[in-house]
Chain A
Amino acid sequence: MAINILEEAILLGRHDGIDDFTAAAERLERAKASSVFVVVSG
């Protein structure tokens, strides 16, 4: 129910979201990779 309410609240107004899903996934993977770099070099 709570998730449905969240989704319906989004639909009440502008909801452009992210068109390029692949690019979004790549950005998240890069963020993970950079955090590993911080750990290794730190």
Chain B
Amino acid sequence: MLFDFQPLANFRLARASHKQPNKDGSICVNEAAVIAAGFEYRAVRDVSCLPDCFSRPVSDYAIYLNDLMLHKVRNELLMPFVIRLPGTSDSPWIEAKRAEFIVVETARRIVAAEYDEIWHKPAVATKCRAVRSLQQVSSVMAKAKAVLPAECAREMLLAGRRCLSRDLRIGAHCAAAAKAAARSEQAGSGRGPKNLANGYQHP
């Protein structure tokens, strides 16, 4: 991104919703985005609290990434989205497509990486990477769970089912899958989360 984020260097993003920012900032990414866009401050407990110009599936995902992300990387990775989230609302068709994209790509990238790199199940990982639709997410995650019941697959099974039922609140499950993958990597390597949910980090 081309912006200089230095003016926001003293503003800290924090987990969960807040009644008001404290002197350090300490509000979540969506609350900061609400202020940055010029709206009156409000505590954002879920996407229903956001102005209409915020994409629901994108903001829902951002809320849970914000809450589940390690404190030491939250500011670095999510601060750019303070100015990216406002003005993202689009037609119902596009919003459904965004929700499906988040679910499918979480299965293809994050779940596949966990089964491959952590659990050494390359056949399962290959199937995850081949997923192209919500229907395939459900069937592949169910099969992955049967081979090895990883938490990320369980979360993505729930995300897929929710999205198939046209409920676009997929953020909790997708972010939980990323968090679970990071936790597995941390436990498996002893190096701390790096690539998976650190999935939270850029590749």
List chain A positions with a Cβ less than 8 A from chain B: 1-10, 12-18, 21-25, 27-29, 31-32, 34-36, 38-39
Contacts and interface: CB of A to CB of B under 8 A. Distances in A.
Contacts of B199: 1-2
Given A22-B7, A27-B36, A35 B202 contact: no
A17 B83 contact: yes
A3 B35 contact: no
Contact of B98 (A3, A13, A36, A39): A13
Interface of B: 3-4, 7-8, 11, 20-25, 32, 35-38, 41, 55, 57-58, 61-62, 65, 77-78, 81-91, 94-95, 97-98, 101-102, 105-106, 109-110, 113, 174-175, 178, 195-203
A25 to B, nearest CB: 4
B151 to A, nearest CB: 15
A28 B21 CA distance: 9
Given A5-B106, A24-B83, 11 more contacts: A1-B196, A2-B178, A9-B58, A9-B101, A10-B84, A10-B98, A13-B55, A14-B89, A17-B86, A17-B88, A32-B21
A34 B41 CA distance: 11
A35 B82 contact: no
A17 to B, nearest CB: 5
B35 A31 contact: yes
A31 B41 contact: yes
Closest 7 CB pairs of A and B: A16-B87, A13-B90, A25-B7, A24-B36, A13-B94, A18-B83, A1-B199
Contacts of A13: 55, 88, 90-91, 94-95, 97-98
A20 to B, nearest CB: 9
